[in-house]
């Protein structure tokens, strides 16, 4: 199972820097980098709420599931 975090595209659409975004959602720029690079093991619902509020989006706009098993056929 692979969960992909698509924050970069949303930040670019809103011309937000990582630092501005981090300040707006209340986490460090280093933790934003962990999220963006797919190294996060968990995301608190309060953080996800702040991300969605700041980027004016739904959770599915920044998180998506990608199968890690090859498709047959």
- Secondary structure of residue 14 in the 3-state scheme: coil
Q: Is residue 23 part of a domain?
A: yes
Residue 53 has phi, psi (to 5 degrees) of -65, -45
Domain assignment present for residue 8? The answer is yes
Q: Which residues contact 6 (CB under 8 A, 6 or more apart)?
A: 61, 62, 63, 64
Percent of the chain with pLDDT over 90: 82
Q: pLDDT for 33-56, tens place per residue?
A: 999 998 999 999 999 999 999 999
Classify residue 15: in a domain, yes or no. yes
Domain harbouring 45, CATH code: 1.10.260.40
The per-residue pLDDT for 2 is 87
Compute the distance between CA of residue 25 and CA of residue 35 in angstroms, rounded to an integer.
Answer: 13
Q: Is residue 21 part of a domain?
A: yes
Is 72 inside any structural domain?
A: no
- In whole angstroms, give the CA distance from residue 37 to residue 15: 19
Q: What range does the domain containing 22 cover?
A: 2-66
- How many residues comprise the chain? 73
Is 50 part of any domain? yes
- What's the predicted TM-score (pTM) here? 0.86
């Amino acid at each position: 199972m692979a969960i992909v975090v698509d924050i970069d595209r949303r930040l670019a659409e809103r011309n937000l820097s990582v630092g501005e975004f981090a300040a707006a959602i209340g986490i460090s720029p280093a933790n934003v980098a962990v999220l963006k690079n797919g190294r996060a093991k968990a995301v608190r619902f309060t953080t996800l709420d702040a991300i969605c509020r700041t980027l004016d989006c739904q959770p599915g706009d920044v998180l998506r599931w990608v199968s890690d098993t090859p498709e047959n056929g």
